[in-house]
Chain A
């Protein structure tokens, strides 16, 4: 199954979650989402980059420069303390929403 549209705010949550274990660059984020979900979420990968800027501006992630696999300088993103807090908050909200939705959908 693939979703043809991500619910609002999902992309932000995905990025935050992806960066939780380790700092990654943009492509690595896309790959991680792809692998973890078996490519079920059709993330329009171009949208990733404005989203990274947005999260940076909110102070949830920050960027550092690192040498890439291809030998060029590339930005690597890392969660900030605020970002971690936001991730905890959003995960809890999301889980609660899914639980509630599941109850509704299974109700007779």
Chain B
């Protein structure tokens, strides 16, 4: 005992060995001195020391731990050691590991798949520089529910002159056409239907993108009489012209007219890259036109108008500016814009909101559902870990007794959990990949950017973050509970194999309550969407789609002008189609109902011009051939439908629907009334109404739509008709016959679309279908996971109380009573979760409100059904483990 001043221990690990050796030697000597023979003395000494090896290991572990808390170098080996240990532990408990991995995999997989969609659809940037300053300007007729209505060229010209908040303005309209002839080496030379847009020459200058090849449009390109020029998209250039670098300056035939290619736009620019109102298809090519010079009726509204805000101008400034322009419109064209009932104004929306806007609530809902599922998965794995922890307490207690600090134990558990979530996340990525493929197969086709969804670096980073967060949530709850285990009692308990203490079950019960609550929220969301979807499909469309086949055909103007050629083609094709076996009716229409292709505008009604204060009449337009209404089974309520005699030379006739008739000739017959489509008040020429037909809901259940006006297809030539055929032999079987009928008339004519009508109708509700499918899947997953959680807790409750239950049974309780008690306990937890879940769902109801049709967000039917479902499933999940009570072997339990 020298030196009173402590010095640092230079040999912390070896020291304990020396000490123990010294101890053994000293005590053995003492026994020998007392008269024992050396072997006996040594044996007695060792017995007294107990498990020396354990003591050594423990001392070493503490020394390591002490080092670990001080220096960094000891931390890394301990991490490696713990990781190796964790792998061994997890492999030693395959059932736990597999269940946990699957649960985490499903949770993270769902979240990853959905995030990749959200990433593709919501978080994407528009492909134009300074895109935040790009806006869209619409006519807004609040009265008619048309808040994003198209603009006529004359209105566009006035906007350009009057709107000071914008640097530049451009307009565009879609124009489907046919590309014939020219093609590059190795590319197909079949006639091809193209989506082109006729755009203001400065469109791309305004968007801020330049061609990669050749030049952009100049102002001179858009004038009447200017040489015909076209800009190609990168996709068309590759597909059709084999990336021909000499394409600029060559001529191509569009719709039978010759256009000179002046340039190729960069890849990734196919304006409109996302739908802008009714501009839905991505472009293959663009044709210039100075829209502001076009004079074809102020009411003929078919343009989408885009603008770039002046630097420093805000959306609010633009709104104020447009209000001034609108005021000027009201003065100059009072009968068109001024009537207060029309509630007309000029609306301005940011391009980003226009392109992405209305998918946001649906995607956020799905994202929320996925968050809930992930949390449930976390709770479930945490639950499993806690349950397993009950069994592992002895191990932990021993380590703690041996001196492992709380930090080290938590580290050990965290490593195990992170290992689980890491591997689970890997599994999740595979699940996400498969799920994404499924989602793309379900792709409604009208969610902008969905096809761009893929698992890329951003998504992987998100998944990694998710795995870490999951690991921390899953690991921390049980780890904190675990490391508090007090060694002495745990070891004592452990010996008897009973380990759960009240607080531990309390944690597990709370987790289960939370799981049930989350599952309820997801299920309520799914239930509401399903109810709303059922309501939507119940709304009559106004026609019968059964057994209908549709064929869209775009006639090239160059070939089919003058218009009577196009009309003759229609007559010829219709007579051929009618003659096909199995066909009962054939006709043609533009636009096809519920096809998302819309056409509307103002309409002047004879005798109504001098009624100031009334909004201008506005209608959905369509062109229909003879027998159209009979073919579609749209009822003719009054008068007649179009006949073969309503052709050129015959008096101009039109048909309106009941809505139009009711609105504009209330209490009178519409037959014989006169209207002037797109015209100016009091001018004409007049078209006489010969029939009143049923209303067709072109927007499906979402909107009733406006009143409708039909032109006679034999009088107003339309080059993009869709032929509709009613068949008794099944619509799909008819496709080859339709194809050959078209080919016999014009072998250069491509068929733009060929699909059964019910498919067209289904596509209209595709987005709702998509939401319903996704949420239903998540709902089922959530319910299953929550049921597993409840089952697990009750099962371990039963097994841990087996002794108590045995005593009860021995004291004369009937097994059914005990079963009832356990089930009641489970149902109690489920009921608590249900109440919390219903309350949360009600609190979140505003989120789903915009997605629902004819269903209140707090719908008693849905809430009731989901409640019953949760309690039913909980009953099953509780009854199963409770039944185990029946099999309790009294003798062995009581003896234990």
CB closest residue in chain A, given B5: A64
Instruction: Indicate if the CB atoms of A63 and B55 lie closer than 8 Å.
Output: no
Instruction: Indicate if the CB atoms of B486 and A25 lie closer than 8 Å.
Output: no
Instruction: Indicate if the CB atoms of A47 and B59 lie closer than 8 Å.
Output: no
Q: How far apart are B193's CB and chain A's nearest CB, in angstroms?
A: 80
Q: Is A72 an interface residue (CB 8 A)?
A: yes
Instruction: Indicate if the CB atoms of A45 and B403 lie closer than 8 Å.
Output: no
CB closest residue in chain A, given B55: A46
Instruction: Indicate if the CB atoms of A49 and B20 lie closer than 8 Å.
Output: yes
Q: How many Å lie between the Cα of A25 and that of B15 in the bound state?
A: 12
Q: How far apart are B398's CB and chain A's nearest CB, in angstroms?
A: 11
CB contact between B59 and one of A25, A49, A78 (< 8 Å): that residue: A49
Q: How far apart are A4's CB and chain B's nearest CB, in angstroms?
A: 12
Q: How far apart are B345's CB and chain A's nearest CB, in angstroms?
A: 76
Residues of B near A46 (CB, < 8 A) are 20, 49-52, 54-55
Q: Is A37 an interface residue (CB 8 A)?
A: no
Q: How far apart are B14's CB and chain A's nearest CB, in angstroms?
A: 11
| Band of interface residues on A | 20 to 34
Instruction: Indicate if the CB atoms of A49 and B16 lie closer than 8 Å.
Output: yes
Instruction: Indicate if the CB atoms of B22 and A72 lie closer than 8 Å.
Output: yes
Instruction: Indicate if the CB atoms of A27 and B403 lie closer than 8 Å.
Output: no
Give chain A interface residues in 43-57, CB to chain B under 8 Å.
44-50, 53-54, 56-57
Q: Is B7 an interface residue (CB 8 A)?
A: yes
Q: Is B534 an interface residue (CB 8 A)?
A: no
Return the CB mask of A8-37 against B: 1 if under 8 Å, else 0.
Answer: 100000000000000101110010000000
Q: Is A70 an interface residue (CB 8 A)?
A: yes
Q: How many Å lie between the Cα of A44 and that of B23 in the bound state?
A: 13
Instruction: Indicate if the CB atoms of B59 and A53 lie closer than 8 Å.
Output: yes
Q: Is A62 an interface residue (CB 8 A)?
A: yes
Instruction: Indicate if the CB atoms of A63 and B22 lie closer than 8 Å.
Output: no
Q: How far apart are A69's CB and chain B's nearest CB, in angstroms?
A: 7
Q: Is B3 an interface residue (CB 8 A)?
A: yes
Asked if A8 meets B15 with Cβ closer than 8 Å, knowing A23-B1, A26-B23, A46-B51, the reply is no
CB contact between B63 and one of A45, A53, A72 (< 8 Å): that residue: A53
Residues of A near B55 (CB, < 8 A) are 46-50
Asked if A66 meets B54 with Cβ closer than 8 Å, knowing A50-B59, A75-B19, the reply is no
Q: How many Å lie between the Cα of A66 and that of B746 in the bound state?
A: 110
Give chain B interface residues in 368-423, CB to chain A under 8 Å.
401-403, 405
Asked if A53 meets B16 with Cβ closer than 8 Å, knowing A8-B488, A27-B23, A74-B22, the reply is yes
Q: Is A106 an interface residue (CB 8 A)?
A: no
Q: How far apart are B788's CB and chain A's nearest CB, in angstroms?
A: 37
Instruction: Indicate if the CB atoms of A26 and B22 lie closer than 8 Å.
Output: yes
Q: How far apart are B50's CB and chain A's nearest CB, in angstroms?
A: 4
Q: How many Å lie between the Cα of A68 and that of B26 in the bound state?
A: 11
CB closest residue in chain A, given B66: A57
A-B contacts, CB under 8 A, total: 97
Instruction: Indicate if the CB atoms of A68 and B22 lie closer than 8 Å.
Output: yes
Residues of A near B52 (CB, < 8 A) are 46
Q: Is A79 an interface residue (CB 8 A)?
A: no
Q: How far apart are B414's CB and chain A's nearest CB, in angstroms?
A: 21
Instruction: Indicate if the CB atoms of A8 and B49 lie closer than 8 Å.
Output: no
Residues of B near A48 (CB, < 8 A) are 55
Residues of A near B403 (CB, < 8 A) are 50, 53-54, 57
Q: Is A108 an interface residue (CB 8 A)?
A: no
Return the CB mask of A58-98 against B: 1 if under 8 Å, else 0.
Answer: 00001111111110111110100000000000000000000
Give chain B interface residues in 549-577, CB to chain A under 8 Å.
none
Instruction: Indicate if the CB atoms of B23 and A30 lie closer than 8 Å.
Output: yes
Residues of B near A26 (CB, < 8 A) are 19-20, 22-23
Q: How many Å lie between the Cα of A16 and that of B674 in the bound state?
A: 110
Instruction: Indicate if the CB atoms of B7 and A64 lie closer than 8 Å.
Output: yes
Q: How many Å lie between the Cα of A68 and that of B55 in the bound state?
A: 22
Q: How far apart are B485's CB and chain A's nearest CB, in angstroms?
A: 12
Q: Is B487 an interface residue (CB 8 A)?
A: yes
Instruction: Indicate if the CB atoms of A74 and B62 lie closer than 8 Å.
Output: no
CB closest residue in chain B, given A28: B26
Instruction: Indicate if the CB atoms of B25 and A70 lie closer than 8 Å.
Output: yes
Instruction: Indicate if the CB atoms of A70 and B6 lie closer than 8 Å.
Output: no
Residues of B near A27 (CB, < 8 A) are 19, 22-23, 26-27
Asked if A69 meets B26 with Cβ closer than 8 Å, knowing A49-B59, A53-B63, A75-B19, the reply is yes
CB closest residue in chain B, given A7: B488
Q: How many Å lie between the Cα of A8 and that of B488 in the bound state?
A: 6
Q: Is B58 an interface residue (CB 8 A)?
A: yes
CB contact between B9 and one of A23, A44, A63, A67 (< 8 Å): that residue: A63
Residues of A near B20 (CB, < 8 A) are 26, 46, 49
Instruction: Indicate if the CB atoms of B2 and A67 lie closer than 8 Å.
Output: yes
Instruction: Indicate if the CB atoms of B49 and A44 lie closer than 8 Å.
Output: yes
Q: Is B48 an interface residue (CB 8 A)?
A: yes
Q: Is B456 an interface residue (CB 8 A)?
A: no
Q: Is B18 an interface residue (CB 8 A)?
A: yes
Q: How many Å lie between the Cα of A53 and that of B23 in the bound state?
A: 16
Residues of A near B62 (CB, < 8 A) are 50, 53-54, 57
Q: How far apart are A65's CB and chain B's nearest CB, in angstroms?
A: 7
Residues of B near A7 (CB, < 8 A) are 488
Q: How many Å lie between the Cα of A7 and that of B16 in the bound state?
A: 25
Instruction: Indicate if the CB atoms of B22 and A45 lie closer than 8 Å.
Output: no
Q: How many Å lie between the Cα of A50 and that of B766 in the bound state?
A: 68
Q: How many Å lie between the Cα of A74 and that of B489 in the bound state?
A: 34
Instruction: Indicate if the CB atoms of B1 and A75 lie closer than 8 Å.
Output: no
Asked if A62 meets B51 with Cβ closer than 8 Å, knowing A23-B1, A26-B19, the reply is no
Give chain B interface residues in 39-69, CB to chain A under 8 Å.
48-52, 54-56, 58-59, 62-63, 65-66
Q: How many Å lie between the Cα of A67 and that of B1 in the bound state?
A: 7
Q: How many Å lie between the Cα of A30 and that of B487 in the bound state?
A: 23
Residues of B near A72 (CB, < 8 A) are 18, 22
CB closest residue in chain A, given B30: A31
Q: How many Å lie between the Cα of A86 and that of B123 in the bound state?
A: 59
Instruction: Indicate if the CB atoms of A65 and B26 lie closer than 8 Å.
Output: no
Q: How many Å lie between the Cα of A50 and that of B63 in the bound state?
A: 9
Q: How many Å lie between the Cα of A26 and that of B17 in the bound state?
A: 12
Instruction: Indicate if the CB atoms of B50 and A45 lie closer than 8 Å.
Output: yes
Instruction: Indicate if the CB atoms of B19 and A47 lie closer than 8 Å.
Output: no
- Given A25-B22, A45-B27, A57-B405, output 11 extra A-B contacts at Cβ < 8 Å: A44-B50, A46-B54, A47-B55, A48-B55, A49-B56, A50-B62, A53-B16, A57-B62, A62-B6, A76-B1, A78-B6
In the assembled complex, 15 residue pairs joining A and B whose CB atoms fall closer than 8 Å, in A order, are A8-B487, A8-B488, A23-B1, A25-B22, A26-B22, A27-B19, A44-B49, A45-B27, A48-B55, A49-B19, A49-B59, A53-B16, A63-B9, A72-B18, A75-B15
List A residues at the B interface (Cβ < 8 Å): 7-8, 23, 25-27, 30, 44-50, 53-54, 56-57, 62-70, 72-76, 78
